[in-house]
Structure 1
Amino acid sequence: MKITSYETFIVPPRWLFLKIETDEGIVGWGEPIVEGKAHTVQAAVSELMDNLVGKDPMRIEDHWQVMYRSGFYRGGPILMSAIAGIDQALWDIKGKFYNAPIHQLLGGACRDSIKVYSWIGGDRPSDVAQDAMEKVKAGFTAIKMNATEELQFIDSYEKIDQVIARVSAIRDAVGPNLGIGVDFHGRVHKPMAKVLAKELEPFRLMFIEEPVLPENNEALRDLAHHTNIPIATGERMFSRWDFKKLLEDGYVDIIQPDLSHAGGITECKKIASMAEAYDVALAPHCPLGPIALAACLQLDATAYNAFIQEQSLGIHYNKGNDLLDYIVDPAVFSYEGGYVTIPDGPGLGITINEEYVRKMSEIGHRWRNPVWRHKDGSVAEW
């Protein structure tokens, strides 16, 4: 079997899909994307695919190593996301060739389903208590929210009080048993992160996420000594080499690699195994489309330390198009009792509605991250 061609599709709300075709009629789908940089990743995919057309798609490990190592300059969000989407598509082809879900080719499943959480609020969260109640009524047992708006290095306690009021309102509305993840989103610098983490302790959170930017991960040492809330991070880390020191230092409790950013299924399986050796949990990052989620679930099936999965249904970014719009059978992602069953169809376990993908790619998108500024005019972390 040989790779004969490929296509990329920039589709709303902010996604990039990849289709790889073979001479045996088997096609694979991947989702290589950096949110806000879809066209840049599209170009990187094109450059990498130059070396893959005409090759055997089954040699996934070799293709991964060539894509990573042969470019001399390696790593980073653009290249690793391009590799990730190609890797997903190659695994999809391999699973379809053997008529087996990808998790069977990775050693078989160690679970039948996994807990999922749903987003509430938005970039500037407000009425999150009502949102949380609606998610509980829909059957979710865990939610995640952005903690705060922009924060200066040293900011007012008024903003801290606003965060605490929102989390308190959720606890009052839904009771003590709902899992709550609070995403600092890298908006919080170390001084205020210490304050905020301490103030959040009484609410018995599931985790705090990305309490500092990944380039400041050394600050996790102080935070870990400062709070008993589990610390999660990793969505902006792109390879096992990025995660190596984080795991060695021992100040993180949950890692969150993104299977569309961190080298795909091949690399994230290795990252998950590294984390297991350090007794660290796995919760893959995935506020993305259906291909990315399907890839995550295939990995979750085989990773013993996976405990919860992010998914984007109804997330504030999905304006106009949502998670289920691009697949033929939305029931593959049906959530029941706060869990989703691992897809067991061939490959990724989903069937892409290619007609709809092509239609929406004619619309495309140029989604960009918002640019925030502090009151003094300086740029703020989003």
Structure 2
Amino acid sequence: MSEITDYELFAVPPRWLFLRVETSDGRVGWGEPVVEGRAHTVRAAVEELFESHLLGADPDPIEDHWQAMYRGGFYRGGPVLMSAIAGVDQALWDLKGQQFDAPVHELLGGPVRDRMQVYSWVGGDRPSDVAEAASERVAAGFDALKMNATVEFQRIESPAAIEAVGERLATVREAVGPEVGIGVDFHGRVAKPMAKRLAAVLEPHDPMFIEEPVLPEHDELLPEIAAHTTTSIAIGERHYSRTDFAPLLQSGGVDVIQPDLSHAGGITEVHKIASMADAHDVALAPHCPLGPIALASCLQVDACAHNAIIQEQSLGIHYNKGSDVLDYLADPSVFDYENGFVEIPDGPGLGIEIDEEHVREQAGEIDWHNPIWRHDDGSVAEW
């Protein structure tokens, strides 16, 4: 029987935290446990999990480890603990795949597809010049895009501000044509009255979906918003467990769920969430504006989730200043995008090889935090 003998955490640019786990038989597994802007906090949670439970343990019983990490604490759930568990879970699956010389998706039942459609971000936090950027991404081979819908948005906005949102999507649609999917992310910046108005002005331009039209704490409003539009509604990056997703799915107000493999308990939990969604005729499109380990983990679940429709990836996203997804891979070709798709990684474990030397060279302190936005009256705005 092998055992977990060591672990290391690496904070690397632009805003990621990588976990390296080593076993007594020489295997090394990688995970990506991070909450963007809270890397120090999640690091402490991962360290606590290893020091109290995982060091010296057999890495094989992944489900039991997951239950112990989750149920072993009286207080559970939330972004920090679930992200810590997620990174550990990814690394344990990576080790398991190496043990059997198989990709994780084979151990989860085998693939239902051999490639996955991906989308690319255009524009920044305050979207501008998105039509030109969208044309460039389509020319580069992507056939699906995502953009932010708004800048700061008051609970009741002017007709001009509402019209500007519709015009922005209209310019992108005109630039790329009807064959390209365009997701529009509200980012939780919009209150219910404006979400209904924006859904109406966006609908004529055929968005692929509208994302997070209201904050997750207002999930009960989604059926009302859904009643105002035929556009698909997507949400889920700030939901962290099956119990978070259950009422969302039961409400009937969501069409696409977007759990994050580095926030929602990892491969073990998101595989279950995907099955729950399938039972409610809801599609899966995992959230992933993160690094290569998180993306590889997403693709392993996508491979065997029949209701997976598209995968977010962060290559070239506006957050990735100084380092990008491919920089940390020994073989970046594993994420070659062709005709809007990426092949499912089929190497052992997560199917990627991390360039450990580069990780160690880049590791240090990272100080990424999302900005604090304010409205014109000085009150804090949703970012």
Residue 366 (structure 1) aligns with:
367
Residue 89 (structure 1) aligns with:
91
| 2:138 is aligned with 1:136 | yes
Residue 155 (structure 2) aligns with:
153
Structure 1 stretches of 4+ moved >6 Å: none
Please give the per-residue CA displacement for 1:193-243, whole angstroms capped at 9, x wherever unaligned. 000001111011110000000000111011111100000000000000000
Q: 1:189 aligns with which of 188, 191, 194?
A: 191
Q: Give the Cα separation in 1 of the matches to 2:8 and 2:199.
A: 45
Q: Give the Cα separation in 2 of the matches to 1:215 and 1:95.
A: 37
TM-score under structure 1 normalisation?
A: 0.99
Q: CA deviation at 1:163?
A: 1.2
Q: 1:334 aligns with which of 336, 351, 355?
A: 336
Q: CA deviation at 1:155?
A: 1.2
| 2:342 is aligned with 1:320 | no
Q: 2:109 aligns with which of 107, 111, 116?
A: 107
Q: Give the Cα separation in 1 of the matches to 2:321 and 2:164.
A: 27
SS in 1 for 2:223: helix
SS in 2 for 1:226: coil
Structure 2: which 5+ residue stretches go unaligned? none
Q: Give the Cα separation in 2 of the matches to 1:128 and 1:369.
A: 21
Identity of aligned residues (%): 68
Q: Give the Cα separation in 2 of the matches to 1:169 and 1:228.
A: 21
Q: Give the Cα separation in 1 of the matches to 2:151 and 2:171.
A: 17
Q: 1:116 aligns with which of 112, 115, 118?
A: 118
Q: Give the Cα separation in 2 of the matches to 1:218 and 1:104.
A: 37
Q: Give the Cα separation in 2 of the matches to 1:160 and 1:115.
A: 31
Please give the per-residue CA displacement for 1:278-318, whole angstroms capped at 9, x wherever unaligned. 00000000000000000000000000000000000000000
Q: Give the Cα separation in 1 of the matches to 2:254 and 2:169.
A: 22
Q: CA deviation at 1:129?
A: 0.3
Matched length? 381
Q: Give the Cα separation in 2 of the matches to 1:65 and 1:232.
A: 28
SS in 1 for 2:234: strand
Q: Give the Cα separation in 1 of the matches to 2:299 and 2:355.
A: 19
Q: Give the Cα separation in 1 of the matches to 2:283 and 2:354.
A: 31
Q: Give the Cα separation in 2 of the matches to 1:356 and 1:181.
A: 34
Q: 1:231 aligns with which of 215, 230, 233?
A: 233
| 2:49 is aligned with 1:48 | yes
Q: Give the Cα separation in 2 of the matches to 1:158 and 1:81.
A: 40
Letter of the aligned partner of 1:29 in structure 2? Answer: W
Q: Give the Cα separation in 1 of the matches to 2:221 and 2:335.
A: 37
Q: CA deviation at 1:164?
A: 1.3
Letter of the aligned partner of 1:15 in structure 2? Answer: W
Q: 1:253 aligns with which of 243, 252, 255?
A: 255
| 2:224 is aligned with 1:222 | yes
Letter of the aligned partner of 1:300 in structure 2? Answer: D
TM-score under structure 2 normalisation?
A: 0.99
Where in structure 2 are the equivalents of 1:154-169 lying within 5 Å? 154-169=156-171
Q: Give the Cα separation in 2 of the matches to 1:274 and 1:281.
A: 10
Structure 1: which 5+ residue stretches go unaligned? none
Letter of the aligned partner of 1:212 in structure 2? Answer: V
Q: Give the Cα separation in 1 of the matches to 2:256 and 2:177.
A: 24
Residue 241 (structure 1) aligns with:
243
